[in-house]
């Protein structure tokens, strides 16, 4: 189920957007907020956020910046009465920029595209990786992969059950596996869900194995891991 947040300080606009969503995408779950601060305090990660820009207190652009620190993959759709902030919207990777008063047809088009994008993001995060070995081809659930190790032209996928060896580059797998995996070393990709503890040189996984952590990457890794946890990331510790 796609979860959507509507953030606007005008109740009539919140209700209008909610009604349009329920009419055109009735399977979505919707929650509304009267301010950016309310949304951020809720601490919940949504698949799609419809966000007003000109609000009392924290405006929509600042709210989006804060939101991006916790939820990189959220589909952001700005709703505004003016075009003045279009370029600022690009800075926070907005999916679209809708103008008030809302046009039902245009809103529907953007909504359907936003839902498709959110579903694609979910699939990438929780989907399968097709692993081709010498003897077989098998779908491996991404969230069952503990870490990936580079072996020259091959890569070893260490999962909770077994290890697969396949011809693949770590760069390609990093792109395919998505944001839950972190390149902690030139030869390793680690699934953040299985991190038990870490120091400046290594990461201990929940199954007792260790992978190398480049010292220079330690601060960046800590930030990535904190973002992962704050955005509601699962920990299998």
Q: Which domains does the chain have, with CATH numbers?
A: 3-125 (3.40.50.2300), 128-230 (2.40.50.1020)
Quick one: pLDDT at residue 63? 97
Quick one: pLDDT at residue 69? 83
Checking DSSP bridges between strand 29-33 and strand 3-7, what pairing results, if any? parallel
Quick one: pLDDT at residue 175? 84
Q: Is 6 exposed, middle or buried (0-12, 13-18, 19+ CB in 10 A)?
A: buried
Closest CA to 78 of 1, 153, 182, 6: 6
pTM attached to this predicted model: 0.58
Residue 145 in 3-state DSSP?
Answer: strand
Quick one: pLDDT at residue 124? 63
Quick one: pLDDT at residue 127? 76
Q: What is the pLDDT of residues 189-199, one digit of tens each?
A: 999 999 999 99
- Flag the least confident range among 55-64, 104-113, 124-133, 175-184: 124-133
Instruction: Examine the pLDDT at 237 and tell me if it is beyond 60.
Output: no
Q: Which residues contact 63 (CB under 8 A, 6 or more apart)?
A: 7, 36, 37, 39, 40, 51, 55
In this prediction, residue 134 has a pLDDT band, given cuts at 50, 70 and 90, of confident
Average pLDDT over residues 162-188: 90
Q: What is the pLDDT of residues 199-217, one digit of tens each?
A: 999 999 999 999 999 999 9
Instruction: Examine the pLDDT at 178 and tell me if it is beyond 90.
Output: no
Across the chain, what does the average pLDDT equal?
A: 91
Distance CA 47, CA 184 (A): 27
Quick one: pLDDT at residue 236? 66
Average pLDDT over residues 117-129: 76
Residue 148 in 3-state DSSP?
Answer: strand
């Amino acid at each position: 189920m796609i979860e959507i947040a509507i953030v606007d300080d005008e109740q009539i606009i919140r209700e209008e957007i909610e009604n349009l969503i329920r009419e055109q995408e009735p399977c979505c779950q919707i929650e509304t907020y009267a301010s950016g601060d309310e949304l951020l305090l809720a601490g919940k990660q949504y698949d799609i956020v419809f966000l007003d820009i000109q609000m009392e207190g924290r405006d929509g652009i600042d709210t989006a910046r804060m939101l991006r620190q916790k939820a990189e993959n959220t589909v952001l759709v700005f709703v505004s009465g003016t075009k003045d902030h279009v370029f600022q919207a690009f800075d926070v990777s907005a999916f679209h920029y809708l103008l008030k008063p809302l046009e039902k047809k245009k809103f529907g088009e953007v909504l359907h595209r936003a839902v498709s994008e959110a579903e694609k993001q979910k699939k990438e995060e929780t989907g399968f990786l097709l692993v081709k070995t010498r003897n077989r081809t098998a779908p491996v659930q991404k969230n069952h992969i503990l870490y990936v190790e580079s072996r020259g032209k091959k890569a070893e996928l260490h999962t909770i059950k077994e290890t697969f060896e396949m011809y693949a580059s770590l760069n390609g797998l990093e792109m395919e596996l998505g944001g839950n995996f972190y390149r902690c070393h030139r030869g390793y990709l680690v699934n953040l869900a299985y991190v038990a503890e870490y120091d400046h040189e290594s990461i201990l996984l929940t199954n007792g194995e260790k992978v190398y952590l480049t010292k220079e990457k330690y601060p960046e890794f800590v930030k990535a891991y904190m973002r992962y946890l704050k955005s509601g990331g699962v920990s299998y510790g």
